[in-house]
């Protein structure tokens, strides 16, 4: 299991690095693909996936694709309108097929678009900010870096359970270690790439602060994904990534962290 997990993790990391570095169409379609897969995993976990290709699902996936088209076209003024259009389309299905779908299915459909597709799209948007080729990596430093450092700190110093019903192994000490560790990694990263940044200010302090905030948010994302699995009594969202589970199992913290890092990086870029 460890070898399988390691190999699949290395492959996933290589694909992610390649997509982010190449940016453009490669990153765009990579994020669109994992968004659609992640939505499918969420709908299936929520119990709405008994008929995975029904009209409600088709409209939800089409809404996510439409939102990505707005991003590809650079129509920033219409991003929020695109999200509202998704909601209206889902409500059309709800009203004109009533009572085929329950209100829980309708809310899950819209939640999937925002929680998965819209959130992951912020990776692409961060990549296209000023200094985005550097700041986009903060999303993964905050998410995966915090997770690794929290694990180490928890193993060494963990005593007080942080959320025993959701994740019995996570501790307050581990969480603190994760935040501090992510901030340190962010500071070191800024010290290395600072000479190539165009934005002003103390990059080391700015990146450390961004990573600290992002690390806190990433833990909420991780626990939120665990809460959904606990509610639905499932172990993993899928089996796409051997040893890791599905897209949502691997990107659960990234999903929530990406919008926050985009906002902070945008403000830092001035």
> Residue 53 pLDDT more than 70?
no
Task: Please tell me the pTM assigned to this model.
Answer: 0.94
| Cα torsion angle, 30, 118, 203, 149, sign | negative
Distances 64 to 3, 34, 59, 70, 131 between C-alpha atoms, Å: 35, 11, 9, 10, 27
N- to C-terminal Cα separation, the chain = 46
Q: Residue 49: is its pLDDT beyond 50?
A: no
What local confidence, expressed as pLDDT, does residue 9 receive?
Answer: 75
pLDDT at residue 179 greater than cutoff 90: yes
pLDDT of 178 over the 70 cut: yes
Q: Is the pLDDT of residue 50 over 70?
A: no
Residue 249 pLDDT exceeds 50? yes
Q: Which of 264, 270, 250, 248 is nearest to 116 (CA)?
A: 248
Cα separation of 270 and 261, whole Å?
14
Top-ranked range on mean pLDDT: pick from 41-45, 63-67, 144-148, 229-233: 63-67
Write down the pLDDT at residue 234: 87
Whole-Å CA distances, 208 to 180, 186, 187, 224, 261: 9, 5, 5, 24, 12
Share of the chain above pLDDT 90, in %: 64
pLDDT at position 54 is 82
Question: How far is the CA of 104 from the CAs of 1, 6, 143, in angstroms?
Answer: 36, 37, 30
């Amino acid at each position: 299991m460890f070898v399988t997990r390691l190999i699949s993790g290395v492959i996933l990391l290589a694909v992610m690095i390649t997509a982010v570095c190449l940016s453009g169409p490669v990153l765009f379609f990579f994020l669109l693909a994992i968004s659609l897969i992640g939505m499918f995993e969420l709908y299936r976990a929520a119990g709405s996936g008994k008929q995975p290709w029904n009209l409600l699902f088709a409209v939800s996936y089409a809404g996510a694709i439409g939102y990505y088209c707005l991003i590809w076209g650079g129509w920033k003024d219409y991003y929020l309108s695109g999200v509202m259009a998704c909601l209206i389309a889902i409500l059309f299905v709800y009203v004109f097929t009533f009572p085929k779908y329950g209100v829980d299915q309708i809310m899950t459909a819209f939640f999937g678009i925002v929680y998965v597709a819209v959130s992951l799209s912020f990776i692409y948007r961060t990549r296209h900010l000023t200094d985005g080729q550097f700041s986009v990596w903060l999303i993964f430093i905050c998410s995966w870096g915090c997770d690794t450092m929290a694990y180490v700190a928890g193993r060494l110093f963990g005593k007080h359970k942080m959320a025993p019903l959701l994740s019995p192994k996570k501790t307050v000490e581990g969480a603190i270690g994760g935040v501090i560790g992510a901030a340190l990694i962010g500071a070191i990263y800024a010290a290395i790439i600072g000479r190539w940044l165009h934005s002003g200010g103390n990059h080391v302090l700015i990146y450390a602060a961004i990573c600290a905030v992002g690390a806190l948010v990433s833990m909420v994302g991780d626990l939120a994904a665990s809460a959904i699995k606990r509610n639905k009594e499932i172990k993993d969202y899928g089996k796409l990534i051997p040893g890791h589970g599905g897209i949502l199992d691997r990107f659960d913290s990234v999903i929530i962290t990406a919008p926050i890092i985009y906002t902070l990086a945008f403000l830092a870029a001035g």
